[in-house]
Amino acid sequence: MNPKTRNLFVRTASGIVYVALMVAAVFTPWVAVPLAFFFGLVGIRELYKMFETPELKESYSFTIISGGLVLIAFLATAQLFSFVKAMPHYPEATLFGVMLRPTNCLMFVLAFVGIFLPELLNRHENPIFNIGIGLLSLIWIILPLCVLFFVWSARSPEVMLAFLILIWMSDTAAYVSGSLFGKHKLAPNISPGKTWEGFLCSCLFTVGLAVGLSYHPSLFVCMPVWGWIVFALIIQVFGLLGDLTESLFKRKAGVKDSGSIIPGHGGVLDRVDSILFATIPAYLFCQFF
């Protein structure tokens, strides 16, 4: 087996495993909880590894603990909400209601302090940079995972699965159409492989798929057709911004992939960058809608 064929086989096999785990997580909390911790904590590790310095090595463990505290606060509440909301006359929970629970507030305060603590205890040369990486870890990686898990617990699994399917369609269509028809670079200084042709074709495919999904009975109850079209465009635009943001970080760090934990695909951040960026805008649209 030549190297290209072997790489394609490995990439396809690991991609199938990844999709299977994500689909299983949508319907099974026993998969969703450990997968959320895996993505969150490994994602933080990859971000710190990209910009690794002796000072960041000292603050890394504090950021991992902070990220774990925030995940525990959301996941425990989401599990409780999933159980209690089945009881009659239970009011609809909100994301801010979850955040303002006393135990969650305590965990958020501890997590916030944990980001600053290494810089207060040590005299580092670049405290602002170190604190920035820690806050970025919580805001860019941990918070979207928490919101995703909250939406999973508060709404039907079909809606969550539709969100993931649209993300995957957006990424796949952009890559395939860009490879076949791409001529005009979208962001040559950040990601030379992305083209306007790939982006526009991806928009068409993603919106078309969203229209098709909207006719599923359980999904049409959530939003009409035009709502799903806007939902798909939000996923498309913010998913692209997430991809470009991670590409910018990798280019600045001088690395090709964020890691190598997923054979043929790179790191965790390489796989979930679009999801991380699109989750909160998609959630806000659904809430205001």
**Residue pair 150/74 in contact by the 8 Å Cβ criterion:** yes
pTM: 0.87
Residue 22 has pLDDT above 70, yes or no: yes
pLDDT in tens, 241-281: 999 999 999 988 888 888 778 877 788 998 898 999 999 99
User: Which two structure tokens, joined as six digits, stand for 208?
Assistant: 């078309």
pLDDT in tens, 146-193: 888 777 766 667 788 889 999 999 988 888 888 888 788 888 888 888
Please, which residues have CB within 8 angstroms of residue 115's CB and are 6 or more apart in sequence? 59, 62, 63, 66, 131, 134, 135, 138
